[in-house]
Amino acid sequence: MALSEFEIIDCYFAHATAERDDVRVGIGDDAALVAVRAGHDLAVATDTLIAGVHFPAEATAEDIGYRALAVNLSDLAAMGAEPAWATLALTLPAADETWLNGFARGFAKLADRFGVQLIGGDTTRGPLSITVTVHGWVPAGTGLLRSGAKGGDAVLVSGTLGDASLALTLLQAGELDASTHRDFLSERFFRPPPRVALGEHLRGRAHSAIDISDGLVADLGHILERSLAGAVIEADRLPYSMAMRECTSPAQARQHALAGGDDYELCFTIPRQLEQEISLWGSTHDLRLTRIGYIVTEPGLRVVDAQGHEVSLESCGYAHF
């Protein structure tokens, strides 16, 4: 029997996520009502996932539920915000209970980890599409913007780059399952880790930050555009995973790292004197943080090799349209 809209929300989502004290009215009224935090700014981000565009057919319902929230939490991380609430607009071709169970499990697992309560949403019938809006808090005036990079800043990234792009390439070639790095790469592509703790630590430290969803060149490019600055990326400093080093040539690795999307690592710029403190924070939090270059006052993004020679960019990342 088909489930009604109300049953879907009640069965799968109303009590699936964290329960927060600041939620006065959650799912089930015309709108949610939440208490606000004095002296803080509210961060609001929205991302949509479309079947076939933002996840491949191989993604499980649980992967999709995880990803729908993860990409949004990554946006909050890039602002330095502490996650609080989410809304979920779910468009489904049919109310498949197995799928809904998996989706809700993936969504709720991540929501719980970050103390996020689902406070509302809408379910409609149509081609599979998921839009999540997330809300988080930063002390007033401390949100991390794209616009603050300054000449001389060190450019850092979290984690390793290009893994999601490599995973997708192998998946599309039918070679992922046979890879010895299958589990690692699947995790990197299907369950990217939102770097929330790092984002919070960077408040008051980083001059600018962005999450890498469209590829390093494209996303660092947004920082440069907003900051009216340029950057030099030292290609030999790009951080690669063991999977990347073993599965591809150096040239392909560089391409994945520069142009491949979906890593959801943070790229940020800091004053050089903070580099050591930030690196130490990374070590104690088991998160690799790598300086990959520096900000310059002259606009434009240049990639140089170990000899300082400029490397041409074959691709400038992924554009949605």
Q: Contact between 120 and its own copies (CB under 8 A)?
A: yes
How are strands ordered across the β-sheet holding 266-270?
208-211, 266-270, 154-158, 289-296, 230-234, 300-304, 310-311
Of residues 125 through 144, those in contact with its own copies by CB under 8 A are 125-127, 129, 131, 133-136, 138, 140-141, 143
Among 16, 59, 70, 79, binds its own copies (CB under 8 A): 79
Residues binding its own copies: number (CB under 8 A): 72
Q: Contact between 37 and its own copies (CB under 8 A)?
A: yes
Q: Contact between 122 and its own copies (CB under 8 A)?
A: yes
Q: Contact between 211 and its own copies (CB under 8 A)?
A: yes
- Are 246 and 181 within 8 A, CB to CB? yes
Q: Contact between 2 and its own copies (CB under 8 A)?
A: yes
Q: Contact between 58 and its own copies (CB under 8 A)?
A: no
- Are 50 and 145 within 8 A, CB to CB? no
- Are 149 and 295 within 8 A, CB to CB? yes
End-to-end CA distance of the chain: 39
- Are 73 and 106 within 8 A, CB to CB? no
Q: At its nearest, how many Å lie between its own copies and the CB of residue 43?
A: 4
Q: Give the integer Cα–Cα distance in Å for 295 and 301.
A: 9
Nearest of 150, 143, 277 to residue 210 by alpha carbon? 143
Q: At its nearest, how many Å lie between its own copies and the CB of residue 309?
A: 30
- The token pair at 150 is 């300054």
Q: Contact between 32 and its own copies (CB under 8 A)?
A: yes
* Choice between 40 and 256, CB closer to its own copies: 40
Q: Contact between 217 and its own copies (CB under 8 A)?
A: no
Nearest of 13, 310, 219 to residue 132 by alpha carbon? 13
Question: One symbol per residue from 291 to 320: x for binding its own copies (CB under 8 A), - otherwise; what is it?
Answer: ----------------------------xx
DSSP one-letter code for 250 = H
* Choice between 155 and 244, CB closer to its own copies: 155
Q: Contact between 280 and its own copies (CB under 8 A)?
A: no
Q: Contact between 228 and its own copies (CB under 8 A)?
A: no
Q: At its nearest, how many Å lie between its own copies and the CB of residue 310?
A: 25
